[in-house]
Chains A and B, each alone.
Chain A
Amino acid sequence: MNGIFSRNEAFVALIILGLVLIIGSINPNFFTLGTLYDLLRSSVVMGIFGVGVLMVLVSGGTDISFTAIAAFCTYVTSRYLNSIGFEGSVLVAFLISGAIGVLLGLINAILISSFKLPTLIVTLGTGNMFRGFMLAFIGTKIVTVLPPGMIRFSRTEFFPVTTLIGGTNGLSAAVFVLLAVVPVTWYILNYTMLGRGIYAIGGDRVAAERAGLNINVIQFFIYCYVGFLAGIAGIVHSSLVRTANPFDLVGTELSVIAAVVLGGARITGGHGTILGAILGVFLVIIINNSLIMMGVPSYWQSAVIGMIIILGTSITALQSKRESRVSIVDNQ
């Protein structure tokens, strides 16, 4: 455990702090509890995805099928629960969706470990396959009336406050899903041999094999776990938007990966922390949801987001380059 709060994370946290101060100085309305609630709620889905992406990146792989898995899981689950007229708790929806996610993740894992194909190619293929299968055989009609359990879940809020405009705002129950996923994954990654094995295979696969790690087992775990997280994120997303839209989510995978990389994970594997990933997601969410408050004209917003991401990642990259330069000199 090389310091919980590494340089990179401290750096992202600093950017966030600076950004918050800038936004607040431009628009003091930013400093309200309601804003915090909104930002947290917005971070949940990307945050859960980010946790999964982090695990895959650390292992040296890339997964771009998780959004397709999420869309698949939540759409199938919502349609199924509606078809049987299920009115019970959202936990059942999470369970079913998570289970479907595990199954789809299993398909990824089987293809990756048995054919030894690059993970990017496999997940590119399976992502399209899952989505195509859903649209062709399950349906394309948007579910606008969700199972009652999911609607109740989306309406559950805590600690309500009155907003400036006169409405009410509370902390969404969905935030607690992220608050559960983060420590569990953090524990797995840092306090189990399985988690350390994920770092190990991301660091040096051959060394991991020689050490006697069963790489297949680890990969099966990773992709099933990511599938599970995608299933959970899917239900949270549908609940929060109150629709299960089969066309949704797919297309956001790269911004999730960008956020996680912003938080210090490396595409080449072995590096990255949960805290970093979550900070990266927060940063992206804050940027995405504050440009209106800052009065950035809409035709500038995409450009501003792009610039901040490039700035953030290049500073991180520069940092790691400097680190590696130091080590080259040491080698000599």
Chain B
Amino acid sequence: MGQITLSGVTKTFGATAVIPPLDLVINDGEFVVFVGPSGCGKSTLLRLIAGLEDTSAGKIMIDGADATDQPPAARKLAMVFQSYALYPHMTVRKNIAFPLKMAGMDAAEAARRVDRAAGVLNLTAYLDRKPGQLSGGQRQRVAIGRAIVREPAAFLFDEPLSNLDAALRVGMRQEISELHQTLKTTMIYVTHDQVEAMTMADKIVVLNAGRIEQVGSPLDLYRSPANVFVAGFIGSPRMNLITGEAAVQHGATTIGVRPEHLDITADGPWEGQVVLTEHLGSDTFLKVGIAGIGAVTVRGNGEDTHRPGDRLRLSPQPGKLHRFGADGRVMTA
């Protein structure tokens, strides 16, 4: 089990409300990603759930029991930190066994669990090494191993991949996703990287200044952003957000259209000049300057042959144009 319910959870430091009252339900077995820009309160929220910070108000329920005032150890949650936070003076084996030792588990059962976790995480050959003798990816796996041996109600990940290089990050991302599929345990994952959020999550919680902007599946958020913030945050490259006359023509304050939803056509309504081209092999991104609108990004295919200075016309695909009102919220009608 691993259902976590936050009701009216608030965190203030002095007069500053880092997290204004917030409600959220995380279902058992879900992979939930908290995503948002730096300083949006996502790590604080995770630490509140972990019990490493005290809530200023509100209630945290874990599997139906009130955990608001429980110490971290009593919450049956395991956490993987950004800096790995391994115990440098202990071997990998002792690091992984530490939570079991703290729980008073007998040595034989603990050893069995450590061996099993090490097997799953490809750490068997490194069990007698100290963390200082491991690479970044191996250290991260030890941190995950230390979390899984306890068989916790939920895993909390605090930006676990941000210290790894890009190639390793992709690999570890997949490993964590596979781990979730194997264990089927609730996971809460904090990241500022929306690609990680999109690829890993069952449910994404987009946070901004401590408030939840939108909760939904990755594709929900991609297809139907609730407001300008989510529209601009989810998707890479980011959605083109256009204000002014072009938006007013569509009866909105802001209109948004994703780079992949702009077609280069002979009779498109927006005419502009290519400013920059980026060839990624599979795709080509064109930055196009349009009079009265500004610069927009267009995703073309890998064979696109446009060059800076070329003139072209663009048209948004039907039904793929998002309209936002003066309050920044999406317009339904």
**Are the chains A and B members of one assembly?**
no
Residue positions of A touching B, CB distance < 8 A: none
